[in-house]
Amino acid sequence: MNYLAAIGSYFIMIREVFKKPTKWRIMKSLILKEIDELIFGSLGIIIFISFFIGGVVAIQTALNLTNPLLPRNLIGFATRQSVILEFAPTFTSIIMAGKVGSYITSSIGTMRVTEQIDALEVMGVNSLNYLVFPKIIALCFYPFAIAIGMYVGIFGGWLASVFGGFCTSADFIEGIQLDFIAFHVTYAFIKTILFAFIIATIPSFHGYFMKGGALEVGKASTTSFVWTSVVIILVNYVLTQLLLG
């Protein structure tokens, strides 16, 4: 029953986020601040993860192509499919749920503990719109970061394959172009947009409605990461079944 109540409170929170908007002059600066902290601040870890994941996928694929009849361009094909379909949008989003989600929960939770949210309400400000809406808008730019991750991941696979001696550059590039389906990129971006909304709202929910002191802020951050990851995995399964099944 507690889970049903929490789900209901979450959707009520989503509705309240879009009611009684804050003045654009104030909201604009909040959005730019969140873009800087949530997107630009995460590009480094996204690039780092994507590069080495692409390299690992390429090496593992090459090591499993033991049959001499199998063409070496399959290394590029497998790297492209793995990075675009799963690793860039889903694996990176789970990492972001830990980095960005914990930041969102702890920042809003600290405001709740120090009664700053109550002060906003007393001043007649819609605190949910003021705190959560800029994060949702900022994370609408998250697909651009994932697009960079896709490119870097495939580039990492190319470097690992060519300089590791597993295949030639021509074979790898031929594999990247082999049986390319443009909808797979669209599917990845659809997933990414939904994951961005999840990363923005579920940690905000746990931070906004937390109770207690400083110790509970840490617990709320851990809980929000767990539930954000669970929802991302479930949504990933449903979307894959709907769009590719």
Segment 29-43 mean pLDDT? 89
Q: Which of 30-39, 113-122, 178-187 has the lowest mean pLDDT?
A: 113-122
Contact present, 216 and 100 (Cβ < 8 Å): no
67-105 residue pLDDT tens? 777 788 888 888 898 899 888 889 889 998 888 988 899
Per-residue pLDDT, 152: 93
Report the C-alpha gap between 159 and 165 in whole angstroms: 10
Report the C-alpha gap between 51 and 54 in whole angstroms: 5
Per-residue pLDDT, 192: 93
Segment 229-243 mean pLDDT? 92
Per-residue pLDDT, 62: 87
Segment 16-22 mean pLDDT? 84
Report the C-alpha gap between 229 and 177 in whole angstroms: 32
